[in-house]
Amino acid sequence: MRLAATTALLSAALAVHAQEYDCMIEARQNVEIRSPVEGLIEHVQVQRGDSVRRGQVLAIVESSMERAALDVARTRADMTGEIKVAEARVELATKKMERARELFRQQFVSASALDEAEAEYKLSMEDLRRTRENQRLAQVDMTRAHAALELRTIRSPFNGVVVEVLLRPGELAATATVKNPVMKLAEVDPLHVEVVLPSKLFGSIRRGQQATVLPEAPVAGTYRSTVSVVDRVIDAASGTFGVRLELPNREGRVPAGMRCRVRFQ
C-alpha cells in the first residue's frame, strides 16, 4: 500500500511538472481610499496611472481652520515669557527667604516675618510649577492640532498605482457614505497569481515551491514565482482546490488583471 501511495504521489508530481495550468494575475490588494474627515477636496496630487509611494500625499481636504488652529497652538507652545517671569519671582523669593533666615538668627526680625518670606517662596515655586504645566499643556495642544491637520492630508498606505480618481477639487469627501471614495489604489508588487488545480494534485503542491508564470500576450517572457498559499479544503462540487503564488514585480512590467499559464517546478 505504501508503494502504491508513493507511486501515486510521484505520478501526480510528474503531472504537475509536465503540464501548464490556467491562472490569473491579480493585484496584491485593491483599496478604496477615503477621507477620515468630512470636507471639500482642496487638492488632488495624483492622477490615474501614477505610481505612488507609501506615505505620499494623494489629496488634501480643505483645512484652513486646522492650519490656523495649529499656528495658534504652536505660538502658545513657543511662548516662554511667563516661565521666565515665574523663575525670576522664585529667584527673588529665594533671596528674601535666605535673608530673612539670616536676620532671624541674628534676632533682627520676628518669626512671623520669616514665615511670610518662606510662604512667599513656596507660592513662587507653585506658580513656577503651574506655569511649566501650562507650557506642557500648550505643547500637547499643538500636537493635537497637528494631528487634526494631518487627518486632512490623505496619504498612500502602500507602494502602488492609482487605478481611478473619483473625487475632484471642490467635491465633498463624506465619511457618512461608502459610495464616494476619493480614489482607488492597487498594490502591484508583488502580484498574486491565482491557480485552480484538480484535487488529484492535492499534496504535490507545497508552500515555498517554485513555479514559472507565462503571462498572455502582449506581455512576453517567463517569470519566477513562489507558492504562498495552498488551500486546505477541496471544493467538492468542482473537485478542485486553490493555490496562490507571489510574483515579484519591482519594475512593474507585468500588469494586474492578465490571464496566464503556470508551470510548477
pLDDT value of residue 178: 56
- The overall average pLDDT reported for the chain is 89
pLDDT value of residue 17: 53
Whole-angstrom distance, CA of residue 174 vs CA of residue 196: 40
Average pLDDT over residues 32-39: 90
Which tens digit of pLDDT belongs to each residue from 60-100? Answer: 999 989 999 999 999 988 888 888 999 999 999 999 999 99
- Percent of the chain, pLDDT > 90? 70
Cis geometry, peptide bond prior to residue 198 (ω within 30 degrees of 0): no
Which tens digit of pLDDT belongs to each residue from 203-243? Answer: 899 999 999 999 998 888 899 999 999 999 999 999 999 99
Q: Is the pLDDT of residue 3 over 80?
A: no
Of the candidate ranges 17-31, 37-51, 52-66, the one whose mean pLDDT is the lowest = 17-31
Whole-angstrom distance, CA of residue 181 vs CA of residue 172: 10
Which tens digit of pLDDT belongs to each residue from 174-205? Answer: 776 556 789 999 999 999 999 999 999 998 99
pLDDT range class, residue 107, cuts 50, 70, 90? confident
pLDDT value of residue 7: 52
Comparing CA positions, the residue from 130, 138, 151, 147 lying closest to residue 61 is: 151
pLDDT value of residue 93: 92
pLDDT range class, residue 1, cuts 50, 70, 90? very low
Radius of gyration of the chain (CA): 35
Residues 6 or more apart whose Cβ sits within 8 Å of residue 97: 117, 118, 120, 121
pLDDT value of residue 162: 96
